[in-house]
């Protein structure tokens, strides 16, 4: 990079200054992770906006790692965010305003510049695709007291519901975590996620009405949007992104369960994507596409000791054709691709998502007329595929 351009980015970008970091500590920000050396003091050239910082402490040899601790930040241009390692608690803590101001001035004088790793700007686009709906309000609404997200503080989540292979692995990680003391668990609690009911019941409804209500979750979605999010679709999507990031990068079991509930709610709608909330579902499918695209490329992001310290969670358990994700995708693809009229953008992103899981996981969504009855599939030249029609009065196009 041109030296003048690099200097401008250093001055304009935010800086995460980390003091007294033990060697071999794994430090992550967004999609990037570092293994700290003896001179590591943080990250510079961070683009303004929302970011997720996470870390895992190690033993003296760098062979065993603690549960990940993560927190969201909303960085302003030229802001310096300072954290200092607390050896006794084995975590980063905030400094007083006076101390933070003193260190911030030193950063702006470039006194720490040689000890700061640069934010890899080429990966920023991938991060934005994972976090573009998250705002400062999202963070303040959902984050736990103290801001730190970690599975080590989620003992009550273990055993509360039936667990997949992935959840069993996360539970085992929590049980075997030598860093998660009972004292630490008692001091903290989890995030303030929105309550998403698994089954909806209303007094006075017939059995058939209750069945219909739970088969098509459109009415439940509308109720939650109005009651919990004030009608703001983007706030719901922000929570979906928050939960995924806390789950995949922060390895929070609570976050995984919330992400799963939100997927089940949205993928479980049949009327909303086709009639009342097409724009919401276009944005939703796009989000899931980028979440899975990033998650399935985990091996490209793991280097060296990070594989041992931060085990990837989108592993072979996702390849199963009886996984919850396969079931949800199969039903949703059938709803969208069978419909006689579909928003064009929604159709396009649904096809992209379908191709992603087929190509990456080898899942087969066979024609409905096949003997397996396993979903539906349209080739681009399929005679039964929907036909795109452009309307005269808008810039959008519909599928009919």
Scored b (16 or more CB within 10 A) or e, 345-377 reads bbbbbbbebbebbeebbebebeeeeeeeebbbb
With a cut of 80, say whether residue 164 has pLDDT above it: no
Average pLDDT of span 163-184? 54
Mean pLDDT (the chain) is: 79
CATH number of 15-110+117-131: 2.60.34.20
120 touches 220 (CB < 8 A): no
pLDDT in tens, 338-384: 889 899 999 999 999 999 999 888 888 765 544 333 344 433 333 33
d(CA 275, CA 221): 14
| Whether pTM exceeds 0.85 | no
> Would you state the pLDDT for residue 396?
36
* Torsion angle, alpha carbons of 278, 235, 333, 344, to 10: 30
Assigned CATH topology for domain 155-399: 1.25.40
- Residue 229 CB coordination number (10 Å): 17
Residue in 237, 18, 218 with CA at minimum distance from that of residue 107: 18
- Residue 136 CB coordination number (10 Å): 12
With a cut of 60, say whether residue 125 has pLDDT above it: yes
pLDDT in tens, 184-226: 444 556 899 999 986 665 555 555 555 555 568 998 999 999 9
- Of the candidate ranges 85-89, 164-168, 323-327, the one whose mean pLDDT is the lowest: 164-168
Q: Please report the sign of the dihedral spanned by the C-alpha atoms of residue 26, residue 30, residue 31, residue 32.
A: negative
Does 384 or 228 have the greater pLDDT score? 228
* Torsion angle, alpha carbons of 157, 149, 151, 234, to 10: 60
What residue segments make up the domains of the chain, in order of their start? 15-110+117-131, 155-399
Average pLDDT of span 107-121? 93
Strand order in the sheet with 388-390: 342-343, 397-399, 388-390
Average pLDDT of span 133-162? 82
Q: Would the CATH topology of 15-110+117-131 be identical to that of 155-399?
A: no
> Would you state the pLDDT for residue 307?
43
- Residue 282 CB coordination number (10 Å): 19
Helix, strand, coil shares of the chain as percentages rounded to 5? 45, 15, 40
267 touches 331 (CB < 8 A): yes
């Amino acid at each position: 990079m041109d030296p003048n351009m690099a200097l401008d980015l250093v001055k304009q970008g935010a800086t995460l200054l980390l003091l007294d970091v033990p060697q071999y500590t794994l430090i992550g920000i967004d999609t990037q992770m570092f293994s700290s050396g003896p001179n590591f003091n943080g990250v510079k050239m961070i683009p303004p906006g929302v970011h997720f910082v996470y870390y895992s402490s190690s033993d003296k040899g760098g062979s065993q790692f603690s549960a990940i601790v993560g927190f969201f930040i909303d960085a302003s241009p030229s802001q310096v965010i300072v954290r200092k390692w607390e050896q006794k608690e084995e975590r980063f803590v905030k400094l007083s305003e006076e101390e933070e101001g003193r260190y911030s001035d030193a950063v702006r004088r470039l006194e720490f510049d040689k000890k700061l790793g640069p934010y890899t700007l080429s990966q920023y686009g991938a991060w934005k695709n994972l976090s573009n709906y998250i705002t400062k309000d999202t963070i303040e609404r959902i984050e736990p007291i103290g801001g730190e997200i970690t599975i080590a503080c989620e003992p009550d989540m273990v055993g509360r519901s039936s667990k997949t292979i992935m959840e069993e692995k996360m539970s085992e990680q929590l049980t075997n975590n030598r860093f998660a003391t009972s004292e630490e668990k008692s001091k903290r609690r989890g995030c303030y996620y929105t309550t998403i009911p698994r089954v909806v019941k209303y007094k006075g409804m017939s059995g058939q009405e209750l069945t219909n209500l739970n088969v098509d979750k459109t009415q439940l979605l509308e109720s939650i949007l109005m009651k919990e999010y004030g009608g703001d679709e983007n706030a719901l999507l922000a929570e979906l992104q928050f939960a995924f990031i806390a789950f995949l990068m922060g390895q929070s079991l609570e976050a995984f369960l919330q992400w799963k509930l939100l997927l089940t709610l949205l993928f479980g709608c049949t009327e909303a994507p086709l009639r009342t909330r097409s724009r919401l579902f276009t944005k939703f499918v796009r989000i899931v596409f980028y979440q899975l695209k990033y998650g399935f490329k985990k091996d490209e992001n793991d280097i060296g000791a990070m594989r041992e310290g931060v085990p990837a969670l989108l592993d072979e358990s996702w390849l199963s054709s009886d996984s919850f994700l396969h079931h949800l995708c199969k039903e949703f693809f059938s709803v969208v691709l069978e419909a006689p009229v579909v928003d064009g953008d929604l159709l396009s992103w649904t096809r992209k998502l379908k191709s992603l899981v087929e190509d990456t996981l080898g899942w087969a969504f066979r024609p409905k007329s096949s003997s397996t009855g396993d979903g539906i599939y349209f080739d681009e030249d399929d005679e039964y595929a929907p036909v795109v029609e452009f309307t005269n009065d808008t810039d959008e196009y519909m599928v009919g």
